[in-house]
Chains A and B, each alone.
Chain A
């Protein structure tokens, strides 16, 4: 069973086990966020909502928001924008990128998969392109709150494995709550509905089974029509 806490709720006396989403005052652990208590390992509060803050090593889906030589400014669904340096492309092309020609490589509004290589003290975020994911070959973007990402993946990937099988789609889940789905149109519709259902019911237990049933019933309905 999960336990919902609000900021200021007393959680435990074990101050040494206090982890993310908590704070310690007078040797006691209190909740710092509105969320669910997780006492496996340390004492954590897993938030139910909130904005994505990039951390080094995260793989995100970004949208080119601005071109500012020699950087692409990338929106990563966060209060902090990220930047992708021109040299990310220079290695892979023969052509030299010049001032004014950056948009020929990546234009505004284009989506990319990138890894966060560095976040500095003033929250300047640097990205490296991950070209093994090519979003140009089609698919669909689904956006959910980044706090729900662990539920869409499921314990050791059980949820996403089930989604991939039942929807027969390629599914890529980025840390910032953006999900790329590629497959047949009707299959993508199935996956979209399932993912949105997971996001809205992420706080309930037995979700994987319920989503599986939900997908089966959708498919049956479609078969009848």
Chain B
């Protein structure tokens, strides 16, 4: 992943290619309730990542034999639009998206109080409309807001971000250029209130000390993202209605 490619200078004069500092997130935009026919939905932008999440349910679980008599079943589908990347992505599920769906579902699972809706299914659909690295973290952020919007009982929101290593430096929230030419990428998801980590993956290599520094950086950023997610939900109902 690192060797054999032309060397690209990712850090110039202490700044990254897009002008960010090492511990800076890309700009975030969150909109709640963007889909009229979904029970809950959220549009989430992180830099050039554009992601929409839709939640349907709790609703009747099909097929019946997959029902859980004691709790709801959460189904999560991560899907990249064919036009979301530079080279057209072959549509449909593939090894990568199946894995991301699984880990994302498991990242949200600890906060969803599934026992309130036995025998039902909660369907979460995450569509990546435009991708610029870190889409699984954006998907988790969007899905978490959409689940709250759908009125699903939850203990907390989940927030997620990636850290990585480029040109020997630990930096927050890699973009596609940094991801492709960097040395490591590590997505993290966590419950901000309790600092509980619900997803941790790593691609590439980090020293123990670098890993610890990166994790701390990611956890700090998750708190920032949490505040934005919360504000987006609150804002939706605080706008006054003019008479």
Complex interface bits, A32-65 against B, C-beta within 8 A gives 1, otherwise 0: 1111100000000001111101000000000000
Q: Please, which residue of chain A has its CB at the minimum distance from the CB of B61?
A: A79
- 15 A-B pairs (CB sep. < 8 Å): A4-B234, A8-B154, A8-B156, A8-B193, A23-B155, A25-B155, A33-B154, A49-B151, A51-B57, A51-B59, A79-B59, A80-B119, A122-B118, A123-B118, A204-B241
Whether B151 contacts A6 by the Cβ 8 Å rule is no
With contacts A7-B111, A7-B153, A49-B40 known, what are 10 further pairs, Cβ within 8 A?
A7-B155, A8-B157, A33-B148, A34-B149, A35-B151, A48-B151, A51-B59, A79-B60, A204-B240, A210-B241
Asked if B191 lies at the interface with its beta carbon under 8 angstroms from chain A, I say yes
Where the two chains meet, the residues of B that have a C-beta atom closer than 8 Å to any C-beta of A are 39-40, 57-60, 69, 111, 113, 117-120, 148-157, 191, 193, 229-230, 233-234, 237-238, 240-241, 243
Whether A50 contacts B150 by the Cβ 8 Å rule is yes
Q: A34-B233, A123-B119 are in contact. Are A49 and B153 (CB under 8 A)?
A: no
* Residues from chain B with Cβ under 8 Å of A122 in the complex: 69, 118-119
**Bound Cα distance A21, B238 (Å):** 20
Complex interface bits, A51-95 against B, C-beta within 8 A gives 1, otherwise 0: 101000000000000000000000000011100000000000000
Whether A32 contacts B154 by the Cβ 8 Å rule is yes
Complex interface bits, A1-41 against B, C-beta within 8 A gives 1, otherwise 0: 00010111100000000000101010000101111100000
Asked if A213 lies at the interface with its beta carbon under 8 angstroms from chain B, I say yes
**Bound Cα distance A30, B191 (Å):** 14
Q: A4-B237, A34-B149, A210-B243 are in contact. Are A51 and B58 (CB under 8 A)?
A: yes
Contact of B120 among A21, A23, A79 (CB under 8 A): A79
Q: Please, which residue of chain B has its CB at the minimum distance from the CB of A51?
A: B58
* Residues from chain B with Cβ under 8 Å of A50 in the complex: 150-152
Contact of B157 among A6, A51, A213 (CB under 8 A): A6
**Bound Cα distance A158, B204 (Å):** 64
Closest Cβ–Cβ distance, residue A122 to chain B (whole Å): 6
Closest Cβ–Cβ distance, residue B70 to chain A (whole Å): 9
Whether A53 contacts B117 by the Cβ 8 Å rule is yes
**Bound Cα distance A51, B111 (Å):** 18
Asked if A203 lies at the interface with its beta carbon under 8 angstroms from chain B, I say yes
Asked if A208 lies at the interface with its beta carbon under 8 angstroms from chain B, I say no
**Bound Cα distance A4, B151 (Å):** 13
Q: Please, which residue of chain B has its CB at the minimum distance from the CB of A206?
A: B243
**Bound Cα distance A25, B151 (Å):** 20
Contact of B191 among A8, A49, A203 (CB under 8 A): A8
Kindly identify, within residues 123 to 164 of chain A, every residue whose CB is under 8 Å from any CB belonging to chain B.
123, 147
* Residues from chain A with Cβ under 8 Å of B157 in the complex: 6-8
Closest Cβ–Cβ distance, residue A86 to chain B (whole Å): 23
Closest Cβ–Cβ distance, residue A146 to chain B (whole Å): 10
Q: Please, which residue of chain A has its CB at the minimum distance from the CB of B118?
A: A123
Kindly identify, within residues 197 to 222 of chain A, every residue whose CB is under 8 Å from any CB belonging to chain B.
201, 203-204, 210, 213
**Bound Cα distance A122, B117 (Å):** 10
* Residues from chain A with Cβ under 8 Å of B57 in the complex: 51, 79
Q: Please, which residue of chain B has its CB at the minimum distance from the CB of A81?
A: B60
**Bound Cα distance A65, B15 (Å):** 63
Q: Which 9 A-B pairs have the closest CB atoms?
A: A50-B151, A8-B156, A49-B151, A7-B154, A34-B148, A79-B120, A79-B58, A6-B233, A203-B237
Q: A8-B193, A30-B155, A32-B113 are in contact. Are A49 and B149 (CB under 8 A)?
A: yes
Closest Cβ–Cβ distance, residue B4 to chain A (whole Å): 46
Q: Please, which residue of chain B has its CB at the minimum distance from the CB of A35?
A: B151
* Residues from chain A with Cβ under 8 Å of B111 in the complex: 7-8
* Residues from chain A with Cβ under 8 Å of B156 in the complex: 7-8
* Residues from chain A with Cβ under 8 Å of B149 in the complex: 34, 49
**Bound Cα distance A25, B40 (Å):** 26
Whether B234 contacts A7 by the Cβ 8 Å rule is no
Residue from the set A23, A49, A79, A123 with the largest chain B CB neighbour count within 10 Å = A79
Residue from the set A7, A8, A51 with the largest chain B CB neighbour count within 10 Å = A7
Q: Please, which residue of chain B has its CB at the minimum distance from the CB of A5?
A: B234
Residue from the set A8, A35, A204, A210 with the largest chain B CB neighbour count within 10 Å = A8
Q: A49-B39, A49-B40, A79-B58 are in contact. Are A32 and B153 (CB under 8 A)?
A: yes
